[in-house]
Chain A
Amino acid sequence: DGGITQSPKYLFRKEGQNVTLSCEQNLNHDAMYWYRQDPGQGLRLIYYSQIVNDFQKGDIAEGYSVSREKKESFPLTVTSAQKNPTAFYLCASSPRTLWGEKLFFGSGTQLSVL
């Protein structure tokens, strides 16, 4: 099956803890993205990567970090500096980072704070 795999589906974070969300794609897409979804709001861009070993901040990057060591993988770390981390996190990819290309989304990770 081709697509984007996010894990885990549910994640709980304790105060002061960093947690990492996994995103893997086998679509051979160059571009990958992380979005945050809160109830009643649209998707907000956290980080994106156009190519291996390069990534750019989105609109709400504070308190988050990413890496892109492999084309297939784009993990997101929610650090303790993110004071309101409870949200649904969506990973996406597209063949290239042209904003006229459609996004393919993973099934998401629901992060909650204990």
Chain B
Amino acid sequence: GQQVMQIPQYQHVQEGEDFTTYCNSSTTLSNIQWYKQRPGGHPVFLIQLVKSGEVKKQKRLTFQFGEAKKNSSLHITATQTTDVGTYFCAGGIQGAQKLVFGQGTRLTINP
């Protein structure tokens, strides 16, 4: 079936270090969304990318959508303790009317 693979599953960094999580799909995606879930909380929408090669920034967060629309990444520059949580990507499967979530990357930070 259609899958969106997300790596790494866990990442532990020192505060101030950078962090990146990657999503890869075996099929072309119509769009990709990113969500953040704080510990004990619920997913909150961060951003959506639609165009091939698209790059969007939100303060210290940079989101990219691959040229082939099969992969995406989220990069956080100079992590802060408020960045702790699990980051999920969710890909819209072209032609399938479906949104498939990656397994998530859990980010922990040593202050």
CB atoms of A99 and B43 under 8 A apart: no
**Interface residue B25 (Cβ < 8 Å from any Cβ of A):** no
1/0 contact trace for A34-67 toward B, CB 8 Å?
Answer: 0100001111110000000000000100000000
- Counting contact residues on chain B (CB < 8 A from A), the size range is 20 to 34
**Interface residue A19 (Cβ < 8 Å from any Cβ of B):** no
CB atoms of B103 and A40 under 8 A apart: yes
Nearest to B42 among chain A residues (CB) is: A105
- Counting contact residues on chain A (CB < 8 A from B), the size range is 10 to 19
Q: State the majority secondary structure of interface residues on A.
A: loop
Q: Which of A40, A59, A99, A106 is packed against the most chain B CB atoms within 10 Å?
A: A99
Nearest to B33 among chain A residues (CB) is: A102
Shortest distance between the CB of B61 and any CB in chain A (Å): 16
**Interface residue B92 (Cβ < 8 Å from any Cβ of A):** yes
Listed in ascending order, the chain B residues whose CB lies under 8 Å from chain A are 1, 4, 6, 9, 30-31, 33, 35, 41-45, 48, 50, 88, 90, 92-93, 97-104
Of all A-B residue pairs in the complex, the 6 with the closest CB atoms, nearest first, are: A42-B101, A102-B45, A105-B42, A43-B101, A99-B92, A42-B103
Listed in ascending order, the chain A residues whose CB lies under 8 Å from chain B are 35, 40-45, 59, 90, 99-100, 102-108
